[in-house]
Every structure is written in structure tokens, then in C-alpha cells.
Amino acid sequence: MGADRFFPSKLMKIPRAGDKIHPTVEGYNRWADSLSHWLMHESRHRIILEKPQKPTKDETVSTRRKP
């Protein structure tokens, strides 16, 4: 299988929890960062995963009902 079709999580060296299977919180963060980078830049079918910008006060919409 091509490198652009499969993310090799198994090859990552990440901190593991006490059970030696599941990652620690830091390990999960590293894994998620690596996966998102791969999806955006190396995957055959790339996906844009950019964090949206916080809307300004003028761009927000009030959801409260008016009496």
C-alpha cells in the first residue's frame, strides 16, 4: 500500500500510559498533530483541517429571542 494511502501510527514513538498500549495525553496530542499534518500535506486525498478564526463582535449573531 502506498505511503500516501495509509497513516502508519504503529511506527510512531509516542509516550505510552501504564498499560504500555494506550498513549498518554501528550502521546495522543502528538499522534493527532501528526495525523492532521499527514491528512493535509501527504495523503492521496488531502483534507483541509485548519482551525477557524474566532469571529469578531460584528460577525456574531445573537441567538436570544427578542420580547
- Using a 10 angstrom Cβ sphere, with 0-12 exposed, 13-18 middle and 19 or more buried, the burial of residue 42 is exposed
- CA dist., res. 56 & res. 11, Å (int): 42
- Using a 10 angstrom Cβ sphere, with 0-12 exposed, 13-18 middle and 19 or more buried, the burial of residue 39 is middle
**Domain residue spans of the chain:** 1-7+20-52
pTM: 0.67
Q: What is the pLDDT along the chain (67 residues), one digit of tens a residue?
A: 777 888 989 899 999 999 999 999 999 999 999 999 999 999 999 999 887 788 777 766 665 555 5
Grid cell at residue 20? 504500555
Grid cell at residue 41? 500535506
Residue 23: alpha-carbon gap to chain centroid: 15
